[in-house]
Structure 1
Amino acid sequence: MGLWRFRLIAIVPVVMSLASTLLTFEIGTRDIFKSIKFFFFAPDTAKVANTALASVVSGIDFYLIGVAFLIFGYGLYELLISEIDVYRAGSDTDNSGGLLDIRSLDHLKEKLVKVLVVALIVSAFKSMITIPLTDVKIMIYFCFCVLILALSGFLMTYKPASKS
Protein backbone atom coordinates (compact mmCIF):
# COMPACT_ATOMS: atom_id res chain seq x y z
CA MET A 1 0.00 0.00 0.00
CA GLY A 2 2.82 2.42 0.85
CA LEU A 3 4.59 1.63 -2.41
CA TRP A 4 1.42 2.45 -4.38
CA ARG A 5 1.13 5.83 -2.66
CA PHE A 6 4.78 6.57 -3.46
CA ARG A 7 3.74 6.98 -7.10
CA LEU A 8 2.41 10.41 -6.07
CA ILE A 9 6.01 11.69 -6.07
CA ALA A 10 5.45 11.87 -9.84
CA ILE A 11 3.39 15.01 -9.20
CA VAL A 12 6.69 16.96 -8.98
CA PRO A 13 7.66 16.50 -12.67
CA VAL A 14 4.02 16.99 -13.67
CA VAL A 15 3.80 20.36 -11.90
CA MET A 16 7.24 21.42 -13.17
CA SER A 17 6.36 20.52 -16.76
CA LEU A 18 3.12 22.51 -16.51
CA ALA A 19 5.08 25.47 -15.08
CA SER A 20 7.55 25.09 -17.95
CA THR A 21 4.62 25.15 -20.36
CA LEU A 22 3.47 28.48 -18.95
CA LEU A 23 7.01 29.84 -19.16
CA THR A 24 7.56 28.82 -22.78
CA PHE A 25 4.13 30.13 -23.81
CA GLU A 26 4.98 33.46 -22.17
CA ILE A 27 8.38 33.61 -23.93
CA GLY A 28 6.73 32.77 -27.26
CA THR A 29 4.12 35.47 -26.76
CA ARG A 30 6.85 38.01 -25.94
CA ASP A 31 8.72 37.06 -29.12
CA ILE A 32 5.63 37.57 -31.24
CA PHE A 33 4.79 40.91 -29.60
CA LYS A 34 8.43 41.96 -30.07
CA SER A 35 8.10 41.06 -33.75
CA ILE A 36 4.91 43.10 -34.14
CA LYS A 37 6.50 46.08 -32.38
CA PHE A 38 9.67 45.80 -34.46
CA PHE A 39 7.72 45.52 -37.72
CA PHE A 40 5.58 48.60 -37.12
CA PHE A 41 8.10 50.88 -35.42
CA ALA A 42 11.44 50.05 -37.08
CA PRO A 43 12.69 52.03 -40.06
CA ASP A 44 11.43 50.52 -43.30
CA THR A 45 14.19 48.31 -44.67
CA ALA A 46 14.31 44.92 -46.36
CA LYS A 47 15.81 43.45 -43.20
CA VAL A 48 12.75 44.39 -41.10
CA ALA A 49 10.49 41.77 -42.67
CA ASN A 50 13.08 38.99 -42.26
CA THR A 51 13.76 39.92 -38.65
CA ALA A 52 10.04 40.14 -37.84
CA LEU A 53 9.38 36.78 -39.51
CA ALA A 54 12.26 35.13 -37.66
CA SER A 55 10.89 36.45 -34.37
CA VAL A 56 7.39 35.11 -35.12
CA VAL A 57 8.82 31.71 -36.04
CA SER A 58 10.81 31.78 -32.80
CA GLY A 59 7.59 32.42 -30.88
CA ILE A 60 5.90 29.50 -32.61
CA ASP A 61 8.89 27.33 -31.74
CA PHE A 62 8.48 28.22 -28.06
CA TYR A 63 4.78 27.36 -28.29
CA LEU A 64 5.65 23.93 -29.72
CA ILE A 65 8.16 23.30 -26.95
CA GLY A 66 5.46 24.31 -24.45
CA VAL A 67 3.08 21.81 -26.05
CA ALA A 68 5.75 19.12 -25.62
CA PHE A 69 5.98 20.00 -21.90
CA LEU A 70 2.19 19.90 -21.68
CA ILE A 71 2.01 16.46 -23.32
CA PHE A 72 4.74 15.22 -20.99
CA GLY A 73 2.94 16.52 -17.89
CA TYR A 74 -0.48 15.18 -18.91
CA GLY A 75 1.04 11.87 -19.95
CA LEU A 76 2.88 11.35 -16.68
CA TYR A 77 -0.21 12.32 -14.73
CA GLU A 78 -2.40 9.84 -16.59
CA LEU A 79 0.17 7.04 -16.48
CA LEU A 80 1.31 7.32 -12.88
CA ILE A 81 -1.25 9.24 -10.85
CA SER A 82 -4.80 9.21 -12.18
CA GLU A 83 -6.93 9.65 -15.27
CA ILE A 84 -7.85 13.26 -15.99
CA ASP A 85 -11.33 13.35 -14.45
CA VAL A 86 -12.57 16.58 -16.06
CA TYR A 87 -12.11 15.07 -19.51
CA ARG A 88 -13.78 11.81 -18.48
CA ALA A 89 -16.81 13.59 -17.02
CA GLY A 90 -17.60 15.08 -20.43
CA SER A 91 -17.32 11.79 -22.37
CA ASP A 92 -20.19 9.46 -23.10
CA THR A 93 -18.29 6.18 -22.81
CA ASP A 94 -16.33 4.74 -19.92
CA ASN A 95 -13.43 3.44 -22.02
CA SER A 96 -12.82 6.47 -24.22
CA GLY A 97 -9.15 6.82 -23.26
CA GLY A 98 -7.51 9.76 -21.58
CA LEU A 99 -7.16 13.30 -22.78
CA LEU A 100 -4.15 12.30 -24.87
CA ASP A 101 -5.04 8.59 -24.91
CA ILE A 102 -1.64 7.59 -23.53
CA ARG A 103 -1.46 3.90 -22.69
CA SER A 104 2.25 3.38 -21.96
CA LEU A 105 5.57 5.18 -21.67
CA ASP A 106 6.35 4.19 -25.26
CA HIS A 107 3.12 5.81 -26.43
CA LEU A 108 4.04 8.97 -24.49
CA LYS A 109 7.49 8.96 -26.13
CA GLU A 110 5.90 8.65 -29.59
CA LYS A 111 3.71 11.69 -29.01
CA LEU A 112 6.61 13.71 -27.60
CA VAL A 113 8.91 12.78 -30.48
CA LYS A 114 6.34 13.95 -33.04
CA VAL A 115 5.98 17.34 -31.37
CA LEU A 116 9.73 17.74 -30.89
CA VAL A 117 10.45 16.89 -34.54
CA VAL A 118 7.97 19.58 -35.59
CA ALA A 119 9.70 22.01 -33.19
CA LEU A 120 13.06 21.12 -34.75
CA ILE A 121 11.62 21.69 -38.23
CA VAL A 122 10.38 25.11 -37.15
CA SER A 123 13.81 25.92 -35.64
CA ALA A 124 15.50 24.87 -38.87
CA PHE A 125 13.06 27.03 -40.82
CA LYS A 126 13.93 29.99 -38.61
CA SER A 127 17.63 29.44 -39.24
CA MET A 128 17.07 29.04 -42.97
CA ILE A 129 15.26 32.39 -43.14
CA THR A 130 18.38 34.22 -42.01
CA ILE A 131 20.90 32.42 -44.25
CA PRO A 132 22.11 34.66 -47.07
CA LEU A 133 22.20 32.62 -50.30
CA THR A 134 25.41 34.03 -51.74
CA ASP A 135 27.11 31.08 -53.42
CA VAL A 136 26.34 27.66 -54.87
CA LYS A 137 27.68 25.73 -51.87
CA ILE A 138 25.28 27.47 -49.48
CA MET A 139 22.39 26.92 -51.90
CA ILE A 140 23.19 23.19 -52.10
CA TYR A 141 23.26 22.97 -48.29
CA PHE A 142 19.98 24.89 -48.17
CA CYS A 143 18.33 22.46 -50.62
CA PHE A 144 19.72 19.50 -48.68
CA CYS A 145 18.21 20.89 -45.47
CA VAL A 146 14.83 21.31 -47.17
CA LEU A 147 15.04 17.71 -48.44
CA ILE A 148 15.89 16.39 -44.96
CA LEU A 149 13.03 18.37 -43.40
CA ALA A 150 10.59 17.01 -46.00
CA LEU A 151 11.87 13.48 -45.40
CA SER A 152 11.45 13.83 -41.63
CA GLY A 153 7.88 15.06 -42.12
CA PHE A 154 7.17 12.08 -44.38
CA LEU A 155 8.70 9.58 -41.96
CA MET A 156 6.63 10.97 -39.08
CA THR A 157 3.40 10.09 -40.88
CA TYR A 158 4.53 7.00 -42.82
CA LYS A 159 2.76 3.78 -41.92
CA PRO A 160 4.01 0.63 -43.67
CA ALA A 161 1.35 -1.39 -45.48
CA SER A 162 0.13 -4.44 -43.59
CA LYS A 163 0.90 -7.87 -45.04
CA SER A 164 -2.67 -9.17 -44.84
Structure 2
Amino acid sequence: MMKELTDLLGTIAVSDVFPRLGWLVDWATGLQASVKRTAAKLDSIMERTITEHEEDPGNDDGEAPDLLDDLLLIAKDGDQGFKLDRIDVKGVILDMFIAGTDTTYKTIEWTMAELIKNPREMAKVQSEVRQVAEGVHGGLLEEELEKMSLLQAA
Protein backbone atom coordinates (compact mmCIF):
# COMPACT_ATOMS: atom_id res chain seq x y z
CA MET A 1 0.00 0.00 0.00
CA MET A 2 2.74 2.49 0.93
CA LYS A 3 4.70 1.63 -2.22
CA GLU A 4 1.64 2.28 -4.38
CA LEU A 5 0.97 5.56 -2.61
CA THR A 6 4.52 6.87 -2.89
CA ASP A 7 4.70 5.78 -6.54
CA LEU A 8 1.53 7.73 -7.26
CA LEU A 9 2.79 10.77 -5.37
CA GLY A 10 5.85 10.80 -7.61
CA THR A 11 3.90 10.35 -10.86
CA ILE A 12 3.19 13.22 -13.19
CA ALA A 13 -0.33 13.00 -14.55
CA VAL A 14 -0.42 14.06 -18.20
CA SER A 15 -3.89 15.49 -17.52
CA ASP A 16 -2.28 18.02 -15.16
CA VAL A 17 -0.11 19.32 -18.00
CA PHE A 18 -2.60 18.91 -20.87
CA PRO A 19 -6.09 19.04 -19.33
CA ARG A 20 -8.04 18.58 -22.58
CA LEU A 21 -6.42 15.35 -23.77
CA GLY A 22 -4.26 14.27 -20.86
CA TRP A 23 -7.10 12.29 -19.28
CA LEU A 24 -6.96 9.97 -22.29
CA VAL A 25 -3.27 9.24 -21.72
CA ASP A 26 -3.88 8.78 -17.98
CA TRP A 27 -6.69 6.35 -18.77
CA ALA A 28 -4.63 4.46 -21.40
CA THR A 29 -1.61 4.09 -19.10
CA GLY A 30 -3.77 2.86 -16.24
CA LEU A 31 -2.98 5.84 -14.02
CA GLN A 32 -6.66 6.63 -13.43
CA ALA A 33 -7.43 3.04 -12.41
CA SER A 34 -4.36 2.93 -10.16
CA VAL A 35 -5.35 6.18 -8.43
CA LYS A 36 -8.92 4.96 -7.87
CA ARG A 37 -7.74 1.56 -6.58
CA THR A 38 -5.21 3.09 -4.18
CA ALA A 39 -7.70 5.72 -2.99
CA ALA A 40 -10.27 3.00 -2.25
CA LYS A 41 -7.71 0.97 -0.25
CA LEU A 42 -6.59 4.04 1.66
CA ASP A 43 -10.18 5.07 2.39
CA SER A 44 -10.93 1.57 3.67
CA ILE A 45 -7.95 1.68 6.05
CA MET A 46 -8.86 5.15 7.29
CA GLU A 47 -12.53 4.21 7.71
CA ARG A 48 -11.57 1.14 9.74
CA THR A 49 -9.25 3.21 11.95
CA ILE A 50 -11.86 5.92 12.51
CA THR A 51 -14.48 3.30 13.39
CA GLU A 52 -12.10 1.71 15.92
CA HIS A 53 -11.51 5.11 17.53
CA GLU A 54 -15.22 5.87 17.63
CA GLU A 55 -15.96 2.53 19.29
CA ASP A 56 -13.11 2.85 21.80
CA PRO A 57 -11.77 6.40 22.16
CA GLY A 58 -9.00 5.16 24.45
CA ASN A 59 -9.90 7.20 27.52
CA ASP A 60 -11.35 4.41 29.67
CA ASP A 61 -8.22 2.23 29.78
CA GLY A 62 -5.82 5.01 30.75
CA GLU A 63 -4.70 5.59 27.17
CA ALA A 64 -4.25 9.26 26.31
CA PRO A 65 -6.38 10.62 23.48
CA ASP A 66 -4.52 11.19 20.24
CA LEU A 67 -5.02 13.56 17.31
CA LEU A 68 -7.68 11.36 15.72
CA ASP A 69 -9.63 11.22 18.99
CA ASP A 70 -9.52 15.03 19.21
CA LEU A 71 -10.64 15.46 15.60
CA LEU A 72 -13.51 13.04 16.10
CA LEU A 73 -14.55 14.92 19.24
CA ILE A 74 -14.59 18.20 17.30
CA ALA A 75 -16.57 16.55 14.50
CA LYS A 76 -19.06 15.14 17.00
CA ASP A 77 -19.52 18.30 19.10
CA GLY A 78 -18.97 20.98 16.49
CA ASP A 79 -18.99 23.74 19.09
CA GLN A 80 -15.44 25.03 18.51
CA GLY A 81 -16.63 27.66 16.04
CA PHE A 82 -16.22 25.40 13.01
CA LYS A 83 -17.64 22.10 11.86
CA LEU A 84 -15.70 19.05 10.74
CA ASP A 85 -17.29 16.10 9.03
CA ARG A 86 -15.87 12.63 8.44
CA ILE A 87 -14.28 13.64 5.12
CA ASP A 88 -12.53 16.59 6.81
CA VAL A 89 -11.16 14.28 9.52
CA LYS A 90 -9.83 11.88 6.86
CA GLY A 91 -8.27 14.80 5.00
CA VAL A 92 -6.41 16.12 8.05
CA ILE A 93 -5.12 12.66 8.98
CA LEU A 94 -4.05 11.94 5.39
CA ASP A 95 -2.24 15.30 5.17
CA MET A 96 -0.37 14.59 8.40
CA PHE A 97 0.52 11.06 7.31
CA ILE A 98 1.73 12.00 3.84
CA ALA A 99 3.65 15.03 5.13
CA GLY A 100 5.55 12.77 7.52
CA THR A 101 6.24 9.91 5.13
CA ASP A 102 6.92 11.86 1.96
CA THR A 103 9.65 13.98 3.55
CA THR A 104 11.29 10.83 4.92
CA TYR A 105 11.26 9.18 1.50
CA LYS A 106 12.66 12.31 -0.12
CA THR A 107 15.44 12.53 2.46
CA ILE A 108 16.42 8.91 1.86
CA GLU A 109 16.23 9.42 -1.91
CA TRP A 110 18.51 12.47 -1.81
CA THR A 111 20.94 10.74 0.55
CA MET A 112 21.20 7.77 -1.80
CA ALA A 113 21.69 10.10 -4.78
CA GLU A 114 24.56 11.86 -3.00
CA LEU A 115 26.17 8.55 -2.04
CA ILE A 116 25.93 7.35 -5.64
CA LYS A 117 27.63 10.56 -6.80
CA ASN A 118 30.42 9.99 -4.23
CA PRO A 119 31.50 6.34 -4.57
CA ARG A 120 34.35 6.66 -2.04
CA GLU A 121 31.96 7.87 0.66
CA MET A 122 29.46 5.19 -0.30
CA ALA A 123 32.13 2.52 0.09
CA LYS A 124 32.95 3.82 3.60
CA VAL A 125 29.27 3.70 4.63
CA GLN A 126 28.85 0.21 3.14
CA SER A 127 31.95 -1.01 4.97
CA GLU A 128 30.66 0.38 8.27
CA VAL A 129 27.24 -1.26 7.80
CA ARG A 130 28.79 -4.61 6.89
CA GLN A 131 31.13 -4.46 9.88
CA VAL A 132 28.34 -3.72 12.38
CA ALA A 133 25.87 -6.12 10.76
CA GLU A 134 28.34 -9.01 10.63
CA GLY A 135 26.95 -11.88 12.66
CA VAL A 136 23.58 -10.22 13.26
CA HIS A 137 20.71 -12.48 12.29
CA GLY A 138 17.11 -11.40 11.80
CA GLY A 139 17.68 -7.69 11.22
CA LEU A 140 19.47 -4.83 12.89
CA LEU A 141 18.24 -3.36 16.14
CA GLU A 142 18.40 0.29 17.11
CA GLU A 143 21.48 -0.39 19.26
CA GLU A 144 23.39 -1.49 16.16
CA LEU A 145 22.23 1.55 14.20
CA GLU A 146 23.62 3.83 16.91
CA LYS A 147 27.08 2.35 16.26
CA MET A 148 27.01 3.51 12.62
CA SER A 149 28.22 7.11 12.75
CA LEU A 150 28.84 7.38 9.01
CA LEU A 151 25.37 6.08 8.19
CA GLN A 152 23.84 8.56 10.62
CA ALA A 153 25.84 11.39 9.07
CA ALA A 154 24.67 10.40 5.59
Fold similarity call, TM over 0.5: no
Higher helix share: 1
Q: Given the two structures, how large is their TM-score scaled by the length of structure 2?
A: 0.30
Give the greater-gyration-radius structure (CA). Answer: 2
Q: Given the two structures, how large is their TM-score scaled by the length of structure 1?
A: 0.29
Q: Which has the higher contact order (CA 8 A, sep 6+)?
A: 1
